[in-house]
Amino acid sequence: MTSEPEFDAIVVGAGFAGIYALYRLRGRGLKVRVIEAGAGPGGTWYWNRYPGLRCDAQSMTYSYSFSDEVQQEWTWSERFAGQAEILRYINYVVDRFALRSDMQFETRVTRAAFDEICGRWMIETDRGERFIARFCVMATGCLSIPNLPGIKGLEGFGGALYHTADWPKQGVDFSGKRVGVIGTGSSGVQSIPIIATQAKHLTVFQRTANFSIPARNRPLRPEEVRRWKANYQALREKCRRSPFGDVYDQAEKSVFDVSAEEGRRMLEEAWTKGSFAFITIFKDILTNQAANDVVVAFVNRKIREAIKDPAVAELLCPKDVPIGAKRLCIDTGYYETFNRANVRLVDLKENPIREIRVDGLVAGEESFALDAIVFATGFDAMTGALFAIDLRGRGGVALKDKWVEGPRTYLGLAVAGFPNLFIVAGPGSPSVVTNMVLSIEQHVDWITDCVAFLRRRGLESIEATPESEIAWTRHVGEVAEPTLFVTVKSWYVGANMPGKPQVIYPYLGGAEKYREICEDIVAKGYVGFRLNPAAESRAG
Site residues (vs ligand NA7, CB under 6 A): 143, 149, 164, 182-188, 207-208, 327, 348, 353, 376-379, 491, 496
Please say which residue, 225 or 348, places its beta carbon nearer to ligand NA7: 348
Q: Residue type for 81, please? A: A
Rounded Cα distance between 437 and 75, Å, is 17
Minimum distance of ligand NA7 from residue 212's CB (angstroms): 11
Nearest to 421 by CA among 393, 443, 385, 379: 393
Please say which residue, 149 or 477, places its beta carbon nearer to ligand NA7: 149
Rounded Cα distance between 447 and 459, Å, is 15
Residues 6+ apart with CB under 8 A from 46: 15, 38, 40, 87
- Let me know if 315 is exposed, middle or buried by CB neighbors in 10 A (0-12, 13-18, 19+): buried
Rounded Cα distance between 329 and 213, Å, is 6
Please say which residue, 315 or 454, places its beta carbon nearer to ligand NA7: 315
Please say which residue, 377 or 532, places its beta carbon nearer to ligand NA7: 377
Specify which residues 121 forms β-bridges with.
114, 133
Minimum distance of ligand NA7 from residue 167's CB (angstroms): 11
Output the DSSP codes for 309-377: SHHHHHHHS--S--TTTSPPEEESSHHHHTTSTTEEEEETTTS-EEEEETTEEEETTEEEE-SEEEE--
- Residues 154, 141 contacting (CB under 8 angstroms): no
CA pseudo-torsion sign 320, 323, 328, 329: positive
Minimum distance of ligand NA7 from residue 151's CB (angstroms): 7
Minimum distance of ligand NA7 from residue 141's CB (angstroms): 11
Buried b (16+ CB within 10 A) or exposed e, 60-79: bbbbbbbeeebbeebebebb
Residue 141 per-residue DSSP state: -
Please say which residue, 10 or 382, places its beta carbon nearer to ligand NA7: 382
Nearest to 30 by CA among 537, 444, 463, 518: 444
Please say which residue, 52 or 407, places its beta carbon nearer to ligand NA7: 52
* 203 membership: H or E segment, kind and range: strand 201-206
Residue sitting closest to ligand NA7 (CB): 185
Minimum distance of ligand NA7 from residue 325's CB (angstroms): 12
Please say which residue, 7 or 205, places its beta carbon nearer to ligand NA7: 205
Minimum distance of ligand NA7 from residue 184's CB (angstroms): 4
- Residues 484, 286 contacting (CB under 8 angstroms): yes
Please say which residue, 87 or 415, places its beta carbon nearer to ligand NA7: 87
Please say which residue, 184 or 383, places its beta carbon nearer to ligand NA7: 184
- Residues 515, 245 contacting (CB under 8 angstroms): no
Please say which residue, 184 or 332, places its beta carbon nearer to ligand NA7: 184
Minimum distance of ligand NA7 from residue 353's CB (angstroms): 6
Minimum distance of ligand NA7 from residue 139's CB (angstroms): 17
Strands 212-214 and 329-331: parallel
Minimum distance of ligand NA7 from residue 207's CB (angstroms): 4
Minimum distance of ligand NA7 from residue 512's CB (angstroms): 20
